[in-house]
Amino acid sequence: MSCIFCRITAGEIPASRVLEDEHLVAFHDLNPKAPVHVLVVPREHVESVGTATEARAELLGRMLLACRRVAEQCGVAGGGFRVVLNTGPDAGQTVPHLHAHVLGGRVLSWPPG
């Protein structure tokens, strides 16, 4: 297993976990772009939103709900938070494993980078 996120979700690589269940693991990003920057990663390897099929609709919904739970747990739900799903290299996806970034804890500008 060479995918770093697969190894993190399997517990082979340590991560500062925020929450986890049988479908997902959420952990602090090692290179945060905001005071709160947590990645929500499915345990199942799916490359990106661009490759996800209808069969993954439930998983995608679970990811979004987990993003809300992360924001609540990290104390940023009330003031607002951003969920980012980069898809492909031109969008900034550097790990080819579906993951959502939950960002908050400061005013986030628009448009993003």
DSSP track, 42-75: ESS----TTT--GGGHHHHHHHHHHHHHHHHHTT
| pLDDT given for residue 26 in this prediction | 98
pLDDT at 1: 63
Domain span including residue 26: 4-104
Q: What is the pLDDT of residue 86?
A: 97
pLDDT score recorded for residue 112: 82
pTM: 0.95
pLDDT at 74: 98
Query: Catalytic: 97?
Result: no
Is 58 contained in some domain?
yes
> Does residue 20 sit in helix, strand or coil?
strand
In this structure, is residue 41 part of a structural domain? Answer: yes
Q: Does some domain include residue 109?
A: no
- Give the residue ranges of the chain where pLDDT is below 50: none
Is 59 a domain residue? yes
What is the number of domains present in the chain? 1
Marked catalytic residue, from 37, 97, 99, 101:
99
Is 39 contained in some domain? yes
Q: What CATH number did the domain enclosing 29 receive?
A: 3.30.428.10
Residue 110 lies in a domain: no
For the beta carbon of residue 113, count every other beta carbon within 10 angstroms.
5
Per residue in 79-106, pLDDT (tens digit) is 999 999 999 999 999 999 999 999 999 9
Residue 112 lies in a domain: no
**111 in a structural domain:** no
